[in-house]
Structure 1
């Protein structure tokens, strides 16, 4: 998977945390058997920046832990017809994740686990949203949360 990670925190994110983000997303992409040319981005930011995004896009005037913006929402778009070989070569853009490093620290402390565990959890949670999973209905929540737990446990980020 082609992954771009942006650190907008003025270096509050360690090199190990940046590596964790990349590694766990590659691991999760393999679990979901995504195409090698799948692409996405992750932006790590502070509470004030994510608060602005949350207000602008969700109408919620407070900081949040993770925002997921899927690139290819299913809807009423007119499909583009192209040669199947060409279509197979085009990368599939999942979308963009935005994560508050401040919320990572706050929630890790509150929940009594490591910041790595909380960061990994938020990254995987957002990644699953980009891949069409949600937790609006109880059955969907069970499915998403079980997959999330499996990915984190198999990667080695247990509670």
Structure 2
């Protein structure tokens, strides 16, 4: 396996099927993005908890769907001669309730929404962003490529 995923479910709503699905989505993203051996943490939280995190780290006192915290910053890489180290990419935090609401609003499945949020968070861990139109075009193109490869189109 190219990607090790640590799951934490603070909602008690995550099923084994959900974990398998998110694993499949993120493993495909890791292959397409050529991450090499890597590790990521995926945590599912309540609406209240994601609002606390969003307020504390982004200054936005409202619930959101996904937040990522990257472990790798900048362009420097650590190289140790003779070592084959696994990269720790960071944390993806998803609010299952917001994802469910958004799936209903957009008229697609919860799987499609969870897949989208997982890929979106994963790409942020790899340094993609959408602060400018050009960054958004690049990031959203990568998202759609990954989601399409999994047949998760809207």
Cα separation, 1, equivalents of 2:96 and 2:52: 15
Which residue of structure 2 aligns with residue 30 of structure 1? 31
| TM-aligned CA deviation for residue 14 of structure 1 | 2.2
Tell me the CA shift for residue 92 of structure 1.
1.0
Shift in Å, 1:141: 0.8
**What RMSD in Å do the two structures reach over aligned CA positions?**
1.6
Structure 2 CA distance, aligned partners of 1:17 and 1:69? Answer: 22
Task: Map residues 134-149 of structure 1 onto 2, 5 A cutoff.
Answer: 134-149=129-144
Residue of structure 1 in register with 2:4 after alignment:
2
- Which residue in the other structure is 1:154 paired with? 149
CA displacement at 1:83 relative to structure 2: 3.5
Distance 2:93 2:31 in 1: 22
Q: Does 1:111 align with 2:106?
A: yes
Deviation of the 1:84 alpha carbon: 2.5
Q: CA deviation at 1:74?
A: 1.7
Q: Deviations over 1:57-78 (max 9, x none)?
A: 1111111100000012128x9x
How high is the TM-score relative to the length of structure 2? 0.93
Structure-2 separation of matches of 1:7 and 1:48 = 14
Matched positions, count: 152
For residues 146 and 16 of structure 1, the distance between their equivalents in structure 2, rounded to whole angstroms, comes to 27
Point out where structure 1 has 5 or more consecutive residues left out of the alignment.
none
CA offsets 1:25-50 (integer angstroms, 9 cap, x no match): 001000011112x1110001110111
Question: Structure 2 CA distance, aligned partners of 1:29 and 1:84?
Answer: 24
TM-score (norm 1): 0.90
Aligned to 1:51: 51
- After TM superposition, give the deviation of residue 3 of structure 1 in Å: 1.1
Regions of 4+ moved over 4 Å: none
Which is higher, the Rg of structure 1 or of structure 2? 1
Unaligned runs of 5+ in 2: none
